[in-house]
Structure 1
Amino acid sequence: MEAKKDYFLPYQVRWIQDQSRLKIYEKTRRGGMTYTQSYEDVKDAAKADDPMDVWFSSADMSAAREYIRYCEQWTRVFKVAAESLGEIVIDREDDIKAFVIEFASGKRIHALSSNPTGFRSKGGKVVLDEFAKHQQQDELWKAAQPSITWGFPMRVISTYNGKNNRYYRMVEDAKKGNKWSLHSTNIIQAVDQGLADKILKRKLTPEERQEWLDELREIAGDEETWQQEYMCNPVDEATAWLTWDLIEGCVDKSAGIPGNYQGGLCYVGMDIARRRNLTVIWVNEALGDVLWCREVISLKNATFKEQDAKLDEVMRRYKVAKLCIDQGGMGERSAEEYIDLYGRYRTEGIIFSAPIKQDLAVTGKQKFEDRLVRIPDDKAVKDAHHAVRKFTTVAGNARFDADDSAEVGHADEFWAHMLAIHGAIGNKNSMPAQASEEFDCW
């Protein structure tokens, strides 16, 4: 049984060809991973040399039925000797039922509901499908994990369901590097690899693929659904400082494009880093009461000389009324030099203490709630804004921070934006006389 291209897309082939004992997948909805997993499981149960029982569990019995239909399909496609036993009772005491296929090897594939009791005293390969959606996730894990003790493989496959669950923690641990082999495919990646073509049964142009994605996103209805179900981004709206609704309400496709600058006064925020995180320069133009993002410059591992050059380009390209800089840590040297270079009335160094970050975050949120900012329709920008959380310390103080993940780092775009907003407060549409005297470029 070979994983032929006629049956599988590249991301599905990679999953099948990965022979790791422990595999975990963060996936898009309807990307065909249950279909793919059923192939692997039929292959394992039908082995001539070392077959194994398979215990499959999904969030509900309808998903279990779909999985079994896929398994039955593979037995016919590859002419594997197997008999479908239908739904049988595997535990009379607890009334646990499963859809079962029995192979000539004597091994069986069992498709169970999400009842954790179904895994008790069982041994073999374990597949937990849509694990994040299980109602009793921790209990299911405690029951299922011992089933692989004698060296059997385990597969965990799911879309996200927020962050307060075992599946999210498992993926995060895998990203840090443990024994789990992590695979990830969002809907855009799946479409790039031919998913929409396969669904529509013809070769699509890039424009047609984008139209298909746009329609799917519109049908999703809201950003939370789109991010969790299709983009592999866990959403925890309960603790997000800026919800997706607030963020999306201020997105404009014309924002973030330098060519759209209309010659008004600008307010620049600069969050400074050197190695691990990003240096971000955020430019806002004030048009009436609204602060329009005109440019976001993100620099990774840039030398201070390169950062200086990028900022100097920004200061020359726009009529900058105020430049606000992260002066903490390695920003100390840069802030001092920029104050000397651009003038102390136009330049302000800000040290990110807890009270200052709270003030910046609260002020920024008010702008989003009043829809007085416009940001680009850019994934990195939106993710960084959504990543910031408000925590309460044991001393009862508010702390604003982001999950330090590979995707959003320390939410550098958010903090650069907040600095730019801070610069506009009290100065919008005007410039102090001293700053005007310092500025000689316009």
Structure 2
Amino acid sequence: MSAPLSREEWEKIRRASRQALPDNLDKLPQDGILLSYQRELFEAVTTHNVTATDKSRRVGATWGIGAAAVLISGAEKPAGGMDTLYLGYNLDMAREFIDTCAMWARAFNQACTEVGEFLFKEQGEKGEDRSIQAFRISFASGFEIVALSSKPRSLRGRQGFVILDEFAFHDDARELLKAAMALLMWGGKVLVISTHNGVDNPFNELLNEIRSGKKPGKVVRVTFDEALEQGLYQRICLVNGKEWSPEGEAEWRDGIRKAYGTAADEELDCIPSMGSGVYLTTAQIEASTHAAPVLRFTCPAGFELQPDAIREAYVEDWLAEHADPVLETLPHNLRHSYGFDFARSGDLSVMLPVTEWYDLVRRVPFSLEMRNVPFRQQEQILFYIVDRLPNFHAGKHDARGNGQYLAEVACQRYGERVEAVMLSQGWYLENTPRLKTRIEERTFLLPADADVTSDMRQIKLIRGIPKVPDDAVTKGTDGGQRHGDTAIAAVLANAASEADPAEYAYTSINDPDPDDNGFDDDDDDIGGATLYNSRREGLF
């Protein structure tokens, strides 16, 4: 009978077992080893210098990142190779990450040394030399993956791909991020990955700065339910040799959520705690206003039953009296866009044009509010105004419900410059922070109006998403119902002003060759004119 294994021998065997793909996983096709969100994160870190991801607990995000780290550090320098510097907040995280990378190195057949522990030299707070335990994998490329201390000074004198894992829980997160960002100067990369730890945490601030455009980078978000939809529990069953079933997954999901209790929002759903309340203060909104009219058009009851000619003439007269004077003041040498929040009854339809000035400030020259206006007349008003917007650039419509009709006819008339937007949590999460940044910086100026200010204050953080709540119903100065309509139009208008749609122009053929049929051999001509797509730089 053989002697019992020593502690060192047992540790070596267990470590080797963790550094190989699970038996069942190696039967998956190559593109099926990583789940969708792991692939998205993998692609983000390979194409962006700065990536941040807010994630649920234990969804395997770090497992996917290990694959990227091995390919980056295993590559030669001309192919983008560099050291990977991993900083977790405890020793167990460092070991787990290094073991994961060793597993990927074997799976990818990367030439590397065995995983090793070593003493990393760094300076203490008083300048004294000190040694800390660290872990390392060295590659034939000359680069290595190193799991370091979580102290910012660990990055001094280093260069490469920095991974800050569970960043929100590091003791000195701000200084750590500052030290990591310094590595970008010489071609490094930074990945900040974490579960949330409060709305005022530096991690949540970083996410908001990237989403709002204040800082360059890519945000990848994965909640617990999103991970399940993309196959997390199926993968757990595969690794553990269990049979997957919808009933089993539902029971497992319910058990996990019950275990987290009231912390599930933050731990599983990527919603930072205390993340509910007013998104923009009155002071911020009023500081970002200017003198601009609000045009209000209300149709009397039964107006929609009048004959077409009467309705059209009535609206034409109103536009000539109220809209023409402000349209004539628009600068003809500047670009104009608009946002449109639709309503037929109850709430308002709000159209918000935007002028882009030379100082890069977006100014709303006027706001148009429509109450109880029939569909056909909203179409009439929309076309009348957009046809007169100088250098029309882009428009975005709320295309939910009945708004889809008006969005559709606008797309038919103005082509790709207009987008029908199905407002969703993801769309709000991407676009509302950009408007907030402009308002904070006073580069998006709204009409100075009590109803406009009230509408903008209706934007709230709802489960981490900045949007107008469904039940946010207020009364306007005219006594009518409002639902944050200007706020929705403002988010759409700002997004339109920042859009990059295709632009079209034409060159007329004034003197066609009488010997041919009027068509050039090299161009496609429509109605005697050659059409150009200036963005695509080609011909139809």
Distance in structure 2 (CA, Å) of the matches to 1:305 and 1:47: 59
The offset of 1:333, in angstroms, is 6.2
What does residue 60 of structure 1 align with? 90
- Residues 81 and 104, structure 1, Cα contact 8 Å, conserved in 2: yes
Tell whether 2:274 aligns with 1:236. Answer: yes
Distance 1:404 1:229, change over 3 A: closer
Report the residue type matching 1:79 in the other structure.
Answer: N
Unaligned 5+ runs, structure 2: 1-27, 124-128, 279-295, 297-338, 349-366, 373-424, 426-456, 476-540
- Residues 86 and 101, structure 1, Cα contact 8 Å, conserved in 2: no
What does residue 15 of structure 1 align with? 41
- Residues 88 and 100, structure 1, Cα contact 8 Å, conserved in 2: no
Candidates 342, 347, 350, aligned match of 1:303 = 342
What does residue 226 of structure 1 align with? 264
Distance in structure 2 (CA, Å) of the matches to 1:173 and 1:405: 18
Work out which of the two has the higher radius of gyration on C-alpha atoms and give 1 or 2: 2
Tell whether 2:109 aligns with 1:79. Answer: yes
The offset of 1:408, in angstroms, is 4.3
Report the residue type matching 2:92 in the other structure.
Answer: S
TM norm structure 2:
0.46
What does residue 120 of structure 1 align with? 156
Unaligned 5+ runs, structure 1: 242-273, 275-299, 310-328, 335-379, 381-399, 419-442
Tell whether 2:126 aligns with 1:88. Answer: no
Equivalent position SS for 2:206: helix
Post-superposition Cα deviations, 1:270-313, rounded to whole Å, max 9, x if no partner, equal xxxx9xxxxxxxxxxxxxxxxxxxxxxxxx9763424479xxxx
What does residue 191 of structure 1 align with? 228
Distance 1:59 1:414, change over 3 A: farther
Post-superposition Cα deviations, 1:210-245, rounded to whole Å, max 9, x if no partner, equal 3222111011122xx2111110111127x869xxxx
Q: Give the root-mean-square deviation of aligned CA atoms.
A: 3.7
The offset of 1:90, in angstroms, is 3.2
Alignment of 1:33-432 (within 5 A): 33-48=61-76, 49-50=78-79, 51-83=81-113, 84-91=115-122, 93-177=129-213, 178-201=215-238, 204-222=244-262, 225-236=263-274, 303-307=342-346, 403=460, 408-409=465-466, 411-413=468-470, 415-416=472-473
Equivalent position SS for 1:221: helix
Distance 1:417 1:167, change over 3 A: same
- Residues 90 and 97, structure 1, Cα contact 8 Å, conserved in 2: no
Post-superposition Cα deviations, 1:177-228, rounded to whole Å, max 9, x if no partner, equal 3521111110101000000111122563444333222111011122xx2111
Distance in structure 2 (CA, Å) of the matches to 1:204 and 1:126: 37
Post-superposition Cα deviations, 1:350-385, rounded to whole Å, max 9, x if no partner, equal xxxxxxxxxxxxxxxxxxxxxxxxxxxxxx9xxxxx
The offset of 1:403, in angstroms, is 4.7
Distance in structure 2 (CA, Å) of the matches to 1:64 and 1:17: 23
Distance 1:416 1:401, change over 3 A: closer
The offset of 1:414, in angstroms, is 5.5
The offset of 1:14, in angstroms, is 1.7
The offset of 1:41, in angstroms, is 0.5
Distance in structure 1 (CA, Å) of the matches to 2:474 and 2:29: 48
What does residue 395 of structure 2 align with? none
Distance 1:410 1:23, change over 3 A: closer
- Residues 89 and 97, structure 1, Cα contact 8 Å, conserved in 2: yes
What does residue 364 of structure 1 align with? none
Distance in structure 1 (CA, Å) of the matches to 2:345 and 2:251: 39
- Residues 223 and 268, structure 2, Cα contact 8 Å, conserved in 1: yes
Distance 1:405 1:231, change over 3 A: closer
Report the residue type matching 2:41 in the other structure.
Answer: W
The offset of 1:330, in angstroms, is 9.2
Distance in structure 1 (CA, Å) of the matches to 2:145 and 2:347: 62
Candidates 37, 56, 65, aligned match of 1:28 = 56
What does residue 301 of structure 2 align with? none
